[in-house]
Amino acid sequence: MHNPRVDIDTDLVRRLVDAQFPEWRHLPVRPVASGGWDNRTFHLGDEMTARLPSAAPYSLQVEKEHRWLPRLAPLLPLPIPAPLAMGEPAEGYPWHWSVYRWIEGETAKTARIPDLRTFAVTLAEFIAALKRIDPTGGPVPGQHNFYRGGPLTVYDGEARQAIAALDGQVDTQAATKVWEAALAATWHGSPVWFHGDVASGNLLVEDGRLSAVIDFGTSGVGDPSCDLAIAWTFFEGESREAFRAAIAVDDATWARGRGWTLWKALITVAGHDANQAEVGRQRRVIDEVLADHERWA
């Protein structure tokens, strides 16, 4: 999926803020250390961030977040992003953009988490709380979130092409078996809220504990199985078992979660944009997913 990106730098953000929010003109603008790819994020003073979509598909998420995050936040057990203002297209920048309150914390890495099992349970409890929120009127799967929460069949062709391209590099027979099992595990439930991108980069840690969940750009209401990918991309062994026990989903939902995880890992490895470190990481994810299916199927 290739989306042309626009150049976003400190000077552009400075001009946008000065023109549209003169009350913040005195605040310094500087890039956030891990500024993201789908969106570019900049510190605005010490207590806010400016967040700008980097390509057209991500711009669809701005108004959604401004509408829904304030409604979700009071019902969740951990902090999530708090939108403060929405900027307008200007200065050659073509989309709406956001100012958020800054959330303290470091991105989740296993070295920063002394008790990964407890971390897994805390995350599962957050996802469960999100699922309990009334989904009425919430955003259904679509272009705004790349159809997360919808049926895996949307990506059937893409997944099978990746499997074929990786023949001789991964166990394509096993991968096909896992993918087809995920497709067969059809979802029949009522729509619920999901985050859509529960990944280590969107989880913040303070004092070794999960402290906040960020980046709700792919959130929506539908099938929550896409939120299970963290089980294979971050957890393993005891922590994965703790996550699965705490999340308390049925076998079919777990199978679809394997499918979402496998699809993303396959297209990353088969693609040409990822660096070798990321390719290696996604190969390990594929191995974990295939082994998990072999164990539980």
Rounded to whole angstroms, how far apart are CA atoms 56 and 229?
Answer: 25
Task: Give the contacts of 287 (CB within 8 A, at least 6 positions apart).
Answer: none
> Which residues form the domain of 254?
106-296
Q: Which of 101, 134, 156 is the last residue of a domain?
A: 101
pTM across the whole model:
0.95
Which CATH number characterizes residue 184's domain?
Answer: 3.90.1200.10
Q: Are the C-beta atoms of 197 and 218 separated by less than 8 Å?
A: yes
Residue at 5 is within a domain: no
State whether 68 and 154 are in the same domain. no
Residue at 254 is within a domain: yes
Instruction: State the total domains in the chain.
Output: 2
Which CATH number characterizes residue 51's domain?
Answer: 3.30.200.20
State whether 53 and 96 are in the same domain. yes
State whether 250 and 273 are in the same domain. yes
Rounded to whole angstroms, how far apart are CA atoms 7 and 213?
Answer: 27
State whether 146 and 255 are in the same domain. yes
State whether 61 and 119 are in the same domain. no
pLDDT in tens, the chain (297 residues): 445 778 999 999 999 999 999 999 999 999 998 767 789 999 999 999 999 999 999 999 999 999 999 999 999 999 999 999 999 999 999 999 999 999 999 999 999 999 999 999 999 999 999 999 999 999 999 999 999 999 999 999 999 999 999 999 999 999 999 999 999 999 999 999 999 999 999 999 999 999 999 999 999 999 999 999 999 999 999 999 999 999 999 999 999 999 999 999 999 999 977 789 999 999 999 999 999 999 987
Q: Which of 101, 124, 143 is the last residue of a domain?
A: 101
